[in-house]
A and B are shown apart, each in its own frame.
Chain A
Amino acid sequence: MLAIGLTHYLVLAAFLFCCGLYVMATKRNAVGILIGAELVLNAAGINLVAFSRYETGLADGQIAALFIIVLAAAEAAIAIAIFVNYYRLLGTIDPDAGDRLRG
């Protein structure tokens, strides 16, 4: 049986991080970019929990992961509110459609 260890979690987190970066860089949709940011935040959460379980043995990493979940929720709430406002005024949520501010 293959024992699951720290490395597995770190690789998973790094993979999520890369997916998040890719999504943030390529998506032409505000919600898509937000999802990319959430992927990266979750990568950070997995890292924190894995390190705290396998390395430090302290609860502080897991507490930090809980806080990151809360931060992600708060950020999503405010971001979606802003998207709705943007959509109401521009009829799209493509960030590139906002071209009045240039230079």
Chain B
Amino acid sequence: MNPLTPNTWLPTAAELRLFAPELILIATIVAVLVAPILIGRRPVAVAFLALAGVLAGLYACGAVAVQVGAGAQGVLSPPAEPPLPPMLMADRFSLFFKLFLLVTLAAIVWLWMIGAGQAQRWAGVENRARPLAAGPEFFVLLLTSALGMMLMVGSLNLLVILIAIETASLPSYALVATDKRSRLGAEASLKYVMFGAVSTAIMAYGISLLYGRFGTLDLSTIAAQIAWMPPAADLVFWLGLLGLGTGIAFKVAAVPMHLWCPDVFEGAPIEVTTWLSVASKAAGLGLLLRVVEAFSASAALSDAVVPLTWAVGVLASVTCTVGNLAALRQESVKRILAYSSIAHAGYMLMAGAILVAASGDAAAHGDLPRAGMAALVAYLLVYVTMNVGAFGATALVAWQTGSDHLSSFTGLGRRAPWVALPMALCLFSLVGLPPLGGFAAKWFLLVALGKAAGVHPWLWVLVTVAVLNTALSLYYYVRIIRQMYLTDDDALPPVRAPGGGLVMVNACAVLLLLLGTLWFSPLGQRAGRLATHVFYSPVPARPQEVPSPTGHPPAALPAEAPRMALSAGHTPPYHGK
């Protein structure tokens, strides 16, 4: 079927409404671009405009989530018989990630506003003056990269994936160099853009190979073809998958595509570091899961499941270990947190390994994919809280002292008790100590891994790696805490943190405490319920099987049968050699 049918088709308002969060974000980008012409270059006013847009997007996202929860189909595709595969989708899976991204975005805009307040105080002081004037451009770039990430988690087509990754990446390269006078920023952005260009190019080549092998760019059609033609010894398929994986690994910063990460995180302004460490990783993971989910539903892949699980498992373990080992000997707190975020990407990839292990034969694994997904959802929710808290506290210190070196944290327990305490809690949570949110996240992950290891015994290796790495990470997190509480220099003046910043980091700490204690089991239940909701909803509407937001999870996975039905309709003939 030719997608370029001559009769013009435009989406209806009801269909477009399901993509309201993206549309609102686009409108905000335009507004932020135009605003300086109308009201003059007033960065703080523009920041409020951006924040308003993000909050409106957040509201729209919630409204769409309710609609989709009630059974609305969030696809844009022209009416055709048989139905054309959609390119973009607003399902529960993508909506969870969109909500997550928008909440993070709001936190970043807030952090920038706090920093702007600081900048006005320090104007003219060497080292501490910050490029406030770049405000409008900063927000255009930030919002555009957020838009790209939102497209990443909703895409069902290889071309859309490529465009979305680029939409997310290109503004990020520039964001890193927002401070044009900073030599570190220039170095960091150069390294970032080089790595990004290389990995995108390789990914594009991989996508072209997959297109040639399967004759389509649509993920679900490719998955259906895999079900027909087992690709076990198909070099073109594996090379194509390798190329696609390179691009995704770059976004997640998994080894060996992690080399850009510490340099970029250290050189970038701290708001950008926080944004990249949380959002870019979450979007990359969302995309990875989307691809894994699409490919894994076909039973024919089960021969390939064991090596594929090995591959993801080894990648996860290496990512985790490399991140933790490299963090041990760092002196810059930003850099320590950068390596820590690589390690955490490793833990989250372990949840991905569960999903791959459980793919192929759905009947044999029952609840496993759901458990893996629930662990990942819980981990992401906790991860964003601890990282915003830890980076926020680092920002407050760095803006006051002009450096994020470990020595700036000397005696912080006395100099700024309400920055040091939440920082310590966030760090303990990053280790995974009870009674904090980080413990809950690790607990759910290890339980899910243990369950999966019941089916694939070698997954116990991953459990061991995760536990050993947790012990290893204790050293460098505690080093910061030791610097804050056990060393002091009376000559150092108190650190005056702005009220907004204190509210932000302390709110994160309180949230972590709650997640580790009172909300421990609600977190697990909520994540489990989200996990049943996030799986790919089939294209033909089946409202009677869609569970209500408060209903019970369905007994079986809803993904298998409809995709098979889809494959019978419009699959192009097999062309590859």
Residues of A within 8 A of B (CB): 10, 13, 17, 20, 24, 30, 33-34, 36-38, 40-41, 43-45, 47-48, 50-52, 55-56, 58-61, 63-64, 67-68, 71, 74-75, 78-79, 81-83, 85-86, 88-90, 95, 98, 100-101, 103
Contact = CB atoms under 8 A, between A and B. Distances in A.
A20 B329 contact: no
Most chain-A Cβ atoms within 10 A of its Cβ — which of B180, B190, B217, B572?
B190
B190 A30 contact: yes
Number of chain B interface residues as a range: 35 or more
Given A78-B170, A78-B173, A101-B267, A51 B183 contact: no
Given A30-B194, A95-B194, A103-B262, A85 B202 contact: no
- Secondary structure at the B interface, as helix, strand, loop or mixed, is helix
B3 A89 contact: no
Interface string B180-207: 1101101111110110111011101101
Given A30-B190, A58-B3, A59-B4, A40 B208 contact: no
Contact of A89 (B183, B202, B208, B572): B183
Nearest to A14: B205
B211 A79 contact: no
B173 A82 contact: yes
**Among all A-B residue pairs, the 10 with the closest Cβ atoms:** A98-B187, A47-B208, A40-B201, A44-B204, A37-B197, A51-B212, A101-B263, A44-B208, A37-B201, A56-B215
Given A33-B198, A78-B193, A82-B193, A40 B177 contact: no
A17 B211 contact: no
Nearest to B327: A103
B216 interface: yes
B3 A60 contact: yes
B400 interface: no
B326 interface: yes
A86 B187 contact: yes
5 contacts: A60-B3, A75-B166, A85-B189, A100-B187, A101-B191
Contacts of A78: 170, 173-174, 193
Nearest to A93: B190
Nearest to A71: B166
Contacts of A48: 208, 211
Contacts of B266: 101
Nearest to B203: A44
A37 B3 contact: no
Contacts of A51: 208, 211-212, 215
B7 interface: no
Contacts of B194: 30, 33-34, 95
Nearest to B141: A78
Nearest to A48: B208
B159 A44 contact: no
A75 B542 CA distance: 42
